[in-house]
């Protein structure tokens, strides 16, 4: 899934590589302030390290996506290793939150037949993105803001990060981007498996609420 198909103005914000005890709470605060629902693609080892932060994400009404156990490039792993990376992350998320993730995001967007087959077997919808401000590279808060505002349109899935390093630029950019996108008439929702699109449309109201 590279785009949403939930009607005009509906977009999704996805936050990758956490949870982080430093940046995830800051992002949760902003999402609460603007009543925006987001999806957090979590790495299993980080979920194991900070289970209470993962629970905070779920309790705030956001969705957790499987982002593998260690954030390795799955294209270079054996089939067994790929399955282990995906399954271990699901187990960690379930231990911490009681939830089984319904969506999977491949690190680096590295999809392969093995990954897609295991997604189908484990009933996880493959989730990609359509707007990448490369915030992980810390290009500057202004660059992140400009990229998102220039490239976001109906159906966009925006990629941001709360883990993997210093994400202060990401937090600062979201502080500007969220109110501007809402003022422009966009509504936030969480991506959903194809059979759940009706539910996603119902949730995409106002500022995205949860």
**CATH number 3.20.20.370 is the correct assignment for the domain at 10-203:** yes
Res 196: pLDDT: 58
Domain residue limits, the chain: 10-203
Rounded CA-CA distance 32/89 in Å is 26
Res 199: pLDDT: 41
Res 157: pLDDT: 98
Rounded CA-CA distance 134/55 in Å is 27
What SS3 class is residue 160? strand
Enumerate the active-site residues. Answer: 16, 161
- Residue 200 reports pLDDT greater than 50: no
């Amino acid at each position: 899934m590279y785009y949403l198909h939930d009607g005009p103005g509906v977009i999704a914000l996805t936050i990758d590589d956490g949870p982080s005890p430093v940046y995830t709470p800051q992002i949760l605060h902003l999402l609460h302030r603007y009543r925006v629902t987001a999806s957090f693609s979590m790495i299993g080892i980080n979920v194991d390290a900070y289970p209470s932060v993962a629970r905070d994400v779920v309790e705030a009404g956001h969705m957790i996506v499987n982002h593998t156990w260690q954030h390795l490039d799955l294209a270079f792993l054996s089939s067994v290793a790929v399955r282990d990376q995906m399954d271990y992350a699901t187990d960690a998320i379930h231990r911490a939150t009681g939830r089984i993730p319904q969506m999977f995001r491949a690190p680096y967007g590295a999809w392969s037949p093995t990954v897609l087959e295991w997604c189908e077997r484990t009933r996880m919808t493959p989730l990609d993105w359509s707007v990448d401000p490369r915030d992980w590279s810390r290009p500057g808060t202004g660059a992140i803001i400009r990229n998102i505002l220039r490239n976001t349109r109906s159906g966009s899935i925006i990629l941001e990060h709360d883990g993997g390093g210093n994400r202060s630029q990401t937090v600062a950019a979201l502080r500007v981007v969220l109110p501007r996108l809402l003022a422009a008439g966009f509504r936030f929702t969480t991506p959903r498996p194809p059979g759940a699109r009706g539910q996603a449309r119902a949730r995409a109201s106002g500022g995205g609420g949860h």
